[in-house]
Structure 1
Amino acid sequence: MFKKIRSDRDPRDTVYSELKKEFAPYLDRAKSTASQFAAKNTKAIFWVMVASMLLSVIIILTSHRSPHITLRPHKTVIAKSPVTGGFQQIMATGNAIQEMLALRKMIDSLSEKKQLTSADSARLDTALDSFQKLNHKFNQRK
């Protein structure tokens, strides 16, 4: 069913070595041309590099400023630590899930009864309301 595929290729032949064999003349010519150009124009290359660094500094200093005029009124934002806020949210979600499971267990046990007393129906009604409110909170978070 599963036959071993045998290859009789030379283990020294890799994709890199084959690409190098194929494109070596072009790469050697480009390398020699670039080195000749750099040898002839060293001062020009230096000043182009300096000018590009100065241009990048000018662009950074001028384009990354926040605008002073805002169209919307400022809202006060209370910064929370992301770790603390995330952990508190996880704990609140876990507590809500535990409460939902307890309510579900109570609803299931009350719904299995053949006849409910007035106290049972009141507990079932409040449990269903609480379960519905918790479910609504979860749907709002998504």
Structure 2
Amino acid sequence: MWKRIHSNRDPRDTLYSEIRREFGTYFLLAGNAWKCLLSKYPKFLFGTMILFLLTSAALSFTIFRNEKKAVAIVSKTTNPIQDGFSQIMAATDRIRETLDLKKIVDSLGRKKRLDFRDSLTLDSALDRLQAIKEN
């Protein structure tokens, strides 16, 4: 089912070695230029580095500060027995309404031809079933 692919590449060839072989001269030139720049202007580069660090610290404590929002804890006295019973009653009402709507949809589905009133009834019943399903 799965065909094996055999590769005859040299295991010493890696991505790094290939990139180094292709672009190594450019990396050497950039490294030499950076060393030359560092040796010519060490105080300037050190001062620039310190300036960037201070600017970063100032920005992190002023502009980029994330303020924590206080979360209000609302304590609600609950009665688990009453809440559970009300949930059971609500579920029962939804089931009862779903069964009634199903009967309406089935009776309209048996008709060979629907008039305007039947179409509106069917549309409203299907909308109500969708609303019950989403709740």
TM-score category of the 2 structures, normalised to the smaller one: 0.3 to 0.5
TM-score normalised by the chain length of structure 1: 0.45
